Amino acid sequence: MSERLLGSRDDATAVHGGGGHPPEPVSCALRWWVDDAQPLPYGVEAAGPWGAARAYGRSLFDALRDVRRELEAADWLLAVNGSRPDVYQSGMLSSSGSDLAYELRPGMPVDPGALVNLFADASVDAVTSVDEQAAAYTRWLESL
């Protein structure tokens, strides 16, 4: 196996909602890697009460997005920066395999100094679904 671990953490937070109950935060483990021998070289795995969700993509952001979609199907959200509606990865960061993304501000172009780590903690109240994040990105583009 030619996977090269890029990072991991056992103290990430996920939140389970639904059923009319308040969100229920739990601890989960994340790991992300690259395998240059694969057509989709970047991988992300989230392990928690749901088991393990794993996805591969052209970038870490893509792989994280696909893990998030799988978790959303079971009503879970990851409380990491890569799940915030005001965070998105540019094409250049994406193609470089970076684990960084831009914080977006309506009406403002990206600020090269406003970078956050995709896998760092985000407030449970600040995270959203993949579709809501994509819609927020479209609104940001239209605000420029």
Per-residue pLDDT tens digits for 42-89: 999 999 999 999 999 999 999 999 999 999 999 999 999 999 999 999
Instruction: Give Cα separations from 60 to 63, 116, 142, 143 (angstroms).
Output: 5, 14, 25, 26
Give me the number of domains the chain comprises.
1
- For residue 30, the model assigns a pLDDT of 98
- Mean pLDDT for all residues in the chain: 94
0.75 surpassed by pTM: yes
Binning pLDDT at 50, 70 and 90, where does residue 23 land? confident
Question: Of 37, 38, 34, which is closest to residue 6 (Cα–Cα)?
Answer: 34
Question: Distance between CA atoms of 64 and 45, rounded to whole angstroms?
Answer: 8
Domain range for 14? 4-143
70 CB contacts (<8 Å, ≥6 apart)? Answer: 53, 55
Q: Does the pLDDT at position 1 exceed 70?
A: no
pLDDT of residue 130: 97
Placement of tokens 């407030």 in the chain: 123
For the chain, percent of residues with pLDDT exceeding 70 = 96
> Given a cut of 70, is residue 105 above it in pLDDT?
yes
pLDDT for position 2: 85
